Amino acid sequence: MKEDKPQKSYMVCVNEITSDADVQAIIENLSKFCKGARLDEVEHAVQSPPFSFRRMNFDSAQAAKEELEKLGCAVDIREGTGVSSAEEQLLFAQTSRKHKIRFAKGIDERQLIDSLDVFTSEDPAVEAYRALRTNLLVQMKQDNINSFLVTSPSPKEGKSTTVANLGIALANAGKKTILVDMDLRHSVLHEFMGIDNSLGVTNIVLDSLDPDLAISHTVFERLHFLPSGPTPPNPAEILSSSSVRELLAMLSNDFDVVLVDSPPIIGLTDAVVLGTIVGGVFLVIRAGRTSRQQMSLAVQMLQNVGCHILGAVLNEVDIHKPYYKVYAYSRSSRA
């Protein structure tokens, strides 16, 4: 039942003392979605669905704090009235840096899945992409959308790796999926896929190339790929053109899922422009690298143009560290 006004609530964020203050701050914000008259525990979020809850009843936030401190936890109680910004979106999933899985030989730094058979395993990294896939499929049904932008606040946070692995996971689930590389400044997806980059988005937009001539089948059944093509002198102008809008609309009609890789948000307009064209956007943030300020700025830039922010993926999480357990306590009911 919708309430006339938000109830006062208490959030208890529990983290082991660590120097990784930026990641703690992000997790603290994201934990505000864990509401309800209970203490919610989130184990390392590579489960499917990524959040599992264990009910523990306490009479007050202070009681919860005291009980948790007996376990040696550092506890911070914050008083508030609810979520106020998209920065506090629920995490889609977390991926582990401890469980690397490969796709192409000779690209050791890439964390890509090397076969569909890997999805029968219980590897935590595989479970992370299962969780992300599940949440994305639910979002597609709820919002009636099938095109998604995957971006990040800054470079080297794992967005392209996430696009590739998620595409494989969706294809394995029977979805006809296409990966579209619209990072026209520094494309890498073609390297992941082992596909030539001489024909792609730029040729379609600038030379009126038939998209079917640029779209390639990958080694994975039901997974297709559209490269970026040659680097143009004016990426921002190309991405804001009506031709790109028409291209994405066509792909949305022809495929079950469209995943778009883009440049980072901060310092460029590319991702913000693309975010207004697709059905939804989710951010990839890297544990130990992405700061709270970067996350906030990226979200604000997307919000300013009306992008539909779906959530975030916390990438390269050390799942063996206990500070990636998040607890939240609230006296308001979960929506």
Q: Is the pLDDT of residue 250 over 50?
A: yes
Q: If you average pLDDT over residues 208-230, what whole number do you get?
A: 95
pLDDT band of residue 68 (cuts 50, 70, 90) is very low
Is 164 part of a structural domain of the chain? Answer: yes
Tell me, yes or no, whether 23 and 93 share the same domain.
no
pLDDT band of residue 106 (cuts 50, 70, 90) is very low
Which is nearest to 276 in space by CA: 253, 312, 297, 245?
245
Higher pLDDT, 57 or 221: 221
Backbone torsion region of residue 265, taken as left when φ is above 0, otherwise alpha when ψ lies between -120 and 50, otherwise beta: alpha
Tell me, yes or no, whether 129 and 59 share the same domain.
no
Is 265 part of a structural domain of the chain? Answer: yes
Q: Is the pLDDT of residue 262 over 90?
A: yes
- Whether the link from the prior residue into 322 is cis, omega within 30° of 0, is no
Tell me, yes or no, whether 71 and 106 share the same domain.
no
Which is nearest to 185 in space by CA: 235, 123, 224?
235
Tell me, yes or no, whether 174 and 105 share the same domain.
yes
- Give φ, ψ of 79 to 5 degrees: -100, 140
Q: What's this model's pTM, rounded to 2 decimal places? A: 0.65
List, for residues 71-94, the tens digit of each pLDDT value. 444 444 333 322 223 333 334 444
Q: What is the pLDDT of residue 263?
A: 92
List, for residues 299-332, the tens digit of each pLDDT value. 889 999 999 988 888 776 655 544 343 333 322 3
Which is nearest to 74 in space by CA: 331, 334, 325, 333?
325
Q: What is the C-alpha radius of gyration for the chain, rounded to an integer number of angstroms?
A: 21
Tell me, yes or no, whether 122 and 78 share the same domain.
no
Tell me, yes or no, whether 210 and 190 share the same domain.
yes
Tell me, yes or no, whether 268 and 208 share the same domain.
yes
Q: What is the pLDDT of residue 100?
A: 32
Q: What is the pLDDT of residue 216?
A: 96
Is 2 part of a structural domain of the chain? Answer: no
Tell me, yes or no, whether 135 and 193 share the same domain.
yes
Q: Are 24 and 15 in contact (CB under 8 A)?
A: yes
Q: If you average pLDDT over residues 46-61, what whole number do you get?
A: 34
Tell me, yes or no, whether 243 and 113 share the same domain.
yes
Tell me, yes or no, whether 51 and 167 share the same domain.
no
Tell me, yes or no, whether 63 and 95 share the same domain.
no
Most trustworthy range by pLDDT among 72-86, 105-119, 152-166, 193-207: 193-207
pLDDT band of residue 28 (cuts 50, 70, 90) is low
Tell me, yes or no, whether 189 and 83 share the same domain.
no
Domain range for 68 is 9-87+321-329
Strand ranges across the sheet with 257-261: 91-96, 309-317, 280-286, 147-151, 257-261, 177-181, 223-226, 216-217
Q: If you average pLDDT over residues 153-170, what whole number do you get?
A: 89
Which is nearest to 281 in space by CA: 162, 116, 184?
162
Higher pLDDT, 333 or 164: 164
> Is residue 198 exposed (0-12), middle (13-18) or buried (19+ Cβ within 10 Å)?
exposed
